[in-house]
Structure 1
Amino acid sequence: MTVHSIPLSSWPTFVDPLAIAIVVGGTALATLLRGPAADALAAVRALPRLGRRGFDAERLRAEIARTERVAVTRGLLNVDADGIADRCIADVVRAVVDGAGPDQVTRLIDDQDHARDTRHRVIHAVWMAAAEAAPAMGMIGTLVGLVRMFSRMDDPTAIGGAMAVALLTTLYGAILANLVAAPIAARLARLSTQEAAARNAVRPALIDFARRFAPVPIVVKRPRTAA
């Protein structure tokens, strides 16, 4: 079986600015209209995460252990939370330095997990919305191309361009949905699951850290009064 590749000279045939504008622009607009612009901006800002390695529980444990060694050898007040790379762990350490106990730290971790889960769900929903909208925009582009083609049947030179728009928008919609938006959503969801598992694994270490350096309550004894 012989596989014939597409010559490089034929690739410009698959590029049409109008078709790209309809599919990409329409998909972006449809996605923006589904929610606040801040959600779409967060989805775009999440893209650099695709090139990073997944969260590693051992790396987080090492960071906690390093912080604990500083607290033991130099004192809790000498711990520099700003020097901790992970922002969530830094917030927990900062709370412990400020006098938070295990119960307060547990609530803080729960709040962090809830906020992170909500944020990741929103980002995933945005990319899935783009994956759903892209084929529809491709179909709209196909209809636009067909209307242009039928309205110019008396001009044979215009029929080819209109037909190209009709076919290429369908192609672009399928590519944008199945090779761009949906894979991004799946990859981000997988990274989110890995992060949640890693953070759940180091949760006991953070609570133990708070318990170890919890402030000791001062009990003031009242003098006994004579009967």
Structure 2
Amino acid sequence: MNPEHLLDPVSALIVVGGTLLATVLRCGMGDCLAAAQALGGLARRAFDPERARAEMAVQVQEIRQDGVIRSRPAPTGDAEFDEATAMLIGSRCLGALRQAHAAHKRRRVEASQRAVRTLTQAADLSPVFGLAGTLVALNQLPPLDRPEADFSVAISMAVLTTLYGLLLGNLLFTPLARVVARRASDEERDRQAVIDWLEEQVADALPHIERSERRTGRVAEEALS
């Protein structure tokens, strides 16, 4: 098999260009930008909970030794943990820590859902434009009453557009949507583990009423489980 026979710029333009244009029109630029940002994030290093704990270790040690009242926020480079620890120190309660974490989590989940939804739409539209390219190719067939007519170009284009649509949807957009979803799920799990660890570390440095509320919350959670 000659690989050059699988390359057709016109077929690729119809399928790829049509899929991208239809995705933008259907999902909007905002969701498409969210998808592009999520894909760009795949090239960066995934969230490392051990590194996050190490970066917060000095802050945690200060809180445990000097108490939350005398502690000062120390930047770690992570926007969520910087805001969460600042709110914890400022309010001297775990509720503020959880509130900051929940707000950041909500924004991350919304962005990842928009990205996955956009990539899924693109995966669904790819075979549609493969079929559209096939119809365009069949429309280019020469009349049957011409003895010198060459059907090979139109038939080749019809086959390739169908192939491009299937490959684009099933080997590119669908796997990318799954990868983005898995990366987001793993990050939320790891971030929650860091937040739980942070709560455990600083609980004894909080005012007595906050510790009592925390124990009460734990008892309620255990009863519900």
TM-score normalised over the length of structure 2: 0.78
Contact 1:120/1:189, CA 8 A, preserved across alignment: yes
Paired residue secondary structure (1:165): helix
Partners of 1:53 and 1:187 in 2: CA distance = 14
Q: Secondary structure at the match of 1:76?
A: coil
Aligned twin of 2:95: 103
Partner of 2:156: 164
Tell me whether 1:22 sits opposite 2:17 in the alignment. Answer: no
Q: Which residue of 2 aligns with 1:113?
A: 105
Matched residues in 2 for 1:65 and 1:146: separation?
66
Partner of 1:88: 80
Decide whether the 8 Å contact of 1:19 with 1:165 is kept in 2: yes
CA distance in 2, matches of 1:64, 1:138: 51
Partner of 2:33: 41
Corresponding residue for residue 216 of structure 2: none
Secondary structure of the equivalent of 1:46?
helix
Q: Which residue of 2 aligns with 1:3?
A: none
Identity between Structure 1 and Structure 2 (%): 30
Distance 1:33 1:214 in 2: 52
Pairwise CA RMSD: 2.9
Q: Secondary structure at the match of 1:80?
A: coil
Structure 1 alignment gaps of length 5 or more: 1-5, 217-227
For residues 26 and 128 of structure 2, what CA distance do their matches in structure 1 show?
A: 15
- 1:155: how far off? 8.3
Structure 1 counterpart of 2:136, one-letter code: V
CA distance in structure 2 between the aligned counterparts of 1:25 and 1:106, rounded to whole angstroms: 44
Give the C-alpha shift of residue 173 in structure 1: 0.7
Residue matched to 1:190: 182
Structure 1 pair 180/203, CA: closer, same or farther in 2 (3 Å)? same
**Deviation string for 1:163-206 (max 9, x for gaps)?**
22211111111111111111111111111111111112122234
**Counterpart-to-counterpart distance in 2, 1:33 and 1:69:** 52
Q: Structure 1 residues 104-113 or 120-129, which shifts more? A: 104-113
- Which has the higher mean CA deviation after the structures are superposed, 191-200 or 50-59? 50-59
CA drift at 1:62: 2.1
CA apart distance, 1:214? 5.8
Aligned partners of 1:144 and 1:211: how far apart in 2?
67
Q: Deviations over 1:23-80 (max 9, x none)?
A: 1011101211222201101111211333345433323222222332356689633x43
**Offset at 1:207?**
3.6
Give the structure 2 partner of residue 133 of structure 1.
125
One-letter identity of the residue aligned with 1:163 = I
For 2:112 and 2:124, how far apart are their aligned partners in 1?
A: 18
Tell me: CA distance 1:212–1:152, structure 2 relative to 1, closer, same or farther (3 Å).
farther
Q: 1:208 to 1:176 in 2, by over 3 A?
A: same
For residue 91 of structure 1, what is the amino acid of its counterpart?
Answer: E
> What is the CA deviation profile of residues 106-139 of structure 1, one whole-angstrom value per residue up to 9, with x for unaligned ones?
1221122222111111111111111111011101
Alignment counterpart, residue 180 of structure 1, candidates 172, 180, 188: 172
Change (3 A) 1:152 1:85: farther
The equivalences for 1:34-73 within 5 A come to: 34-69=26-61
